[in-house]
Every structure is written in C-alpha cells, then in structure tokens.
A and B are shown apart, each in its own frame.
Chain A
C-alpha cells in the first residue's frame, strides 16, 4: 500500500491542476483579508474616523479570522469537484488503474489509496487556505484572533466536514469510467450543497429551541396583553403568523431533517455564533453556538422584542463548541465511511476496467 501511496503523492506533485488550486488557496484568502482591510479603512475614513486610530474589538477580529479562514468550505467545493474527478478520471482514461490491478494490487487497496490520497490533497488545500488567511490578516494589518487556539479545532472540524463532500466526488470519480459524468454530478452536488447550506440557516435550530422560543413568546404576549400593551386580537394574529406551523411547515419538514442528518448545516451553525459577535451579541458566547440569533431577529418583526439576554438562560438555544464539534465530526466521518464504503463495494464488484 505504501508503494501506491508514494506513487499517488508523486503524481500529485506533478499535477498542474493541483498546483493551480494550491495557488488559489494561497492567494484568495490573502486577497480577501486585504479587501476587508480596504473596506474597513474606507468605511472609517468616510465616517471621519481614521482606521489606524481605531482598535477593533478582539471579538470582531476573531469573527473576521473565522469568516475568512472558514470560507474554504464555500470557495473550494467546485474546484475540488473538478480536480478530484479530473485527477482520478485520468486513471481510467489512461488505463492506469488496470496497470495496478494487473501488477497484483487488490481492488480494495487501490480504492483506498485513491480515496485517501484525494482526501489528503483536499485537506492540504484547506490547510494552505487557512494558513494563508491568517497570514493575509496579519500582513493586511487587521491582525488575527484564533480564540486562544480553539479556533483551530473548529477549523479542523470544518476540514473534516469538507472532506465528507470530497468523498462524494472521489467515489463518483471511481465508480464511473467516463470522466464527464462524475465531473458534472460533482459540480451539481457542490452547487446544491452550497445553496442548501445557505437555505438551511433558517432551519438549523434544534427543535427543542424552536418550541422553547414559541412558549416564551406566548408568555411574552400574555404579559403584554395583561399590561395593555397589546390587544388580544393582535396577539392572536402574531401567534397565528408565527405559530408552530411557521417553523414546522414544509420548509422545516424538508430542510430540518437534512440539517439533522447531514453535516451541511456546519456553516450556518458556526456562523450563527460569530455573526452574533458582530451585531453586538453577548460576548460571553465566544465558546459556544448561540442559536437565538434568528429568534432575536424574528422578535423585532413580531413585537415580542426579545433580546439576546432573554435567551441567555435557555439551555436549548446554546450548545458548546466542543459538543457541536463532536456532532459534526461524527456526522462527517459517518458519511465518509458510508459513501466511501458504498463506492468500494461498487469498485470491487463492477467491471470498471
């Protein structure tokens, strides 16, 4: 197996596309950091404040660090889909996979080496991207804040989540002999996941948190009615508009299960914590996810006027990073093993060569 690994890694180093993507991973986050610096400078200058004189709060720097470093999870999938399928597809188009079988390597060994090499290559892209983001923040003058190193763990989880998607790409590339089909399918999957990751943000609350919010809001309305701040009719209307069906309607029924069973909600979950920081959320919550952000924004629309502090003691609306990290690691590894295992089954049985 070591022979095959050496060979595959050697081949990676000779792949032009591999180095192009590595180049992108170096440049893009640096440019992003420089861009953010420019925007902030412009904003502060226009408002009459010199940026150099403003010291950004460490939480804001942490948010920027996270946002730029984790953006590989949205920037890389399409490149990864293309790279993985082209790189592995060549093994079929050039017939190399047959050489390996004929030479005496087992199909299982070949499949594992291909898959693990692709995971390693894509993990390498992520690491380069993250390090470049930190470097970019540093050279741009914004500085970086890794939350005492804790952020590396979250970024590591992000890499594993990303690799679960790479497993889909490599599996498709290994079970189809033609290169075009896996490329098309992988890019479609990458695009669907990006879109779903955006949409899922509305449905990424634990069901318990939603129920707790609805209960809290009902109590708030009752109090408001009791104090004459709200008529019963309007309270009922808001109750109706934002009753459980609002959350438990068709969108919830489709996307919430997807959120629960796949790692696709990673971005929205972890972003939830950090957007809070930018919008003046309670800075106590830098070591946990605060699901209440969405409820806070809803509350301004439905007159309940909840603030972050109202959700502070609601247990279901908070989850520690360590707990969520474990959930995402478990989900991602589950899919890596499930999809990879399915691919291996096909690869061993099907006449692919």
Chain B
C-alpha cells in the first residue's frame, strides 16, 4: 500500500452471509484518512458486522477491504467492538501492561500517560470488574490506543453511559483525532452525539451503504433552514446574502435561507440597512432527520 493514500480503509462490495441470512449486501464505503467516520444505521443494519470485518474478527463472504496503511503491523488497528475487552480481575494498569506485552511494546511511563489521558490514573488497585461502564469504556479505548494505532474502530462506545460519561468519551475521541491524528470509525445509536463528533458519515440500511456524506455536505444538504418575513424582502435579501446565507425568494416575498447565523447579528444588520424583519421561522435538519428522510420510517440509528 502506498503511504500517500488519502483513505485508511476502502470497503468494496463486501457481503457477509450467515447461512441464509444476508447481513451485508455488497457494501461499499471509503474512510478518509484523519476523519471521524460515523456509521449510522438501524439495529441489525450491519454496522457491527462490518466493524468486525474491518477489525479482522470476521472474514467477509465476498468483497474486499483495502487498508491504506500497514494494517498487519501489530497494534496499527485498535478496536472496541461491542464490549470493552479487558481482564475484569486485573487493575487498569495491569490490563494496559498485558496489552503492551501483547503488542511487544516497552513497558514504560507511557502506560501511566495513557491512563491519565483517559482519566483512569487514580484507579490504583481497583479491579476493572468493579469499574463503572464509562470507566470500562475508557479503559477499553486506552487499550485500543496502545501502540498508537492509525485507526480506531469503536462500536457504540457511548452506549449505556450517563451524560457525564458521554461528554468524557466525546472529548477523548476529539482529542485523539485532533492531537494524535487517529482516524476513528465510530457507530452510535445516539445520533445527536455522533453529529457532534463525526466529520464523515455512511448511512447503512439492510447491509448496504445507502449514502456517504461529509459533515459539511450534511450541513449544506440540511442544516438550518429559515423563512424570513419582511415588508421589504427585496431590501432584506442582500443583507442576508452578505451574511453568507444561501437565499431564494418566492412570489409572495418570503425569503428562504439556508445556513447558520446569529439572529441578533442579522437583526442588527437589517436595522443598519433600514430594513425591518417581521418574523423568522427556523427549521433545522439534523443528522437524525436526515437519516429518517433517507431510509424512511422511524429513526433507530
């Protein structure tokens, strides 16, 4: 593999059957290097299966997974698939030591740094079996991070966490991506959280990726839509355009604008231009709405 690849993983026509059950059906997607790649789909859509295939736990029935890095090098892929894989009868530190040994890494102070990074530096002799779910998830991530992997695969890492735990994991993942340049592939049922993290999305339905989209494109495709009502819409239009909003006006003089803005700034700019705004109606198309629109039915990402 060339080191100049702009992707870390390319899934091509991957299918997976369990007997007569077709779990994946010619799935295709590409994970850009340095991205946080969100896999969105209902229960049973095939998210976990494709993550297991990518992480090497399962082999596809058909199709290929190409890696844009040396995925056979020990520790180059870190994963937390389903539950964290940790020795429940060992401490957080011992768990990391075992993982380091598995990877042939030198046992040094980087273990303590990792524990500190995931906020488990003060767990002492407490066995991992007595950790809260959030602590176990963070330890699982620390273990997956051992050896500085190029790619981190996380299946439902915030499942079952309390709000505080979710925030901790989210911050941790953003730091990993931004500070260490780790590409993260993540699935989550909590789409509002996923939308705060992911830079790219793949929507999975019935074993297929039905849409791949970047966070920017998602915002453009949906984002905040507003209707501006004004007595002088033709004068308001350039004010809104000047604020970077994409606008159009209908025959009734209602201005439709797409994009995010600060309402106070818009009102002040309109006042400065001598234009009044009678009413603003906003409607935001978030990840969940987009998903429902895309696959139909109720969201159960």
Contacts and interface: CB of A to CB of B under 8 A. Distances in A.
Given A3-B101, A11-B98, A353-B57, A102 B83 contact: no
Interface residues of A, number: 22
B81 A10 contact: no
B88 A94 contact: yes
Q: Which of A3, A14, A104 has most B Cβ within 10 Å?
A: A104
Given A102-B77, A103-B75, A96 B103 contact: no
A90 interface: yes
Contacts of B73: 104
Contacts of A6: 101
Interface in B131-153: 143-144, 147, 153
B103 A94 contact: no
B21 to A, nearest CB: 13
A90 B87 contact: yes
Given A99-B85, A99-B143, A102-B56, A7 B102 contact: yes
Nearest to B71: A104
Contacts of A10: 97-98, 101
Contacts of A94: 85-88
A104 B98 contact: no
B92 to A, nearest CB: 14
B87 A104 contact: no
A95 interface: yes
Chain B interface extent, by class: 35 or more
Contacts, number: 75
A14 B87 CA distance: 12
A7 B143 CA distance: 14
Contacts of B153: 102
B90 interface: yes
A154 interface: no
A101 B147 CA distance: 15
A2 B105 CA distance: 12
B84 interface: yes
Contact of B99 (A14, A90, A99, A351): A99
Interface string B34-62: 00000000000000000010011110000
A4 B82 CA distance: 23
Interface in A82-121: 90, 94-96, 98-105
B85 A103 contact: no
A102 B57 contact: yes
Task: Give the 7 A-B residue pairs with the shortest CB-CB distance, closest first.
Answer: A95-B85, A7-B101, A3-B104, A99-B85, A102-B79, A104-B74, A102-B55
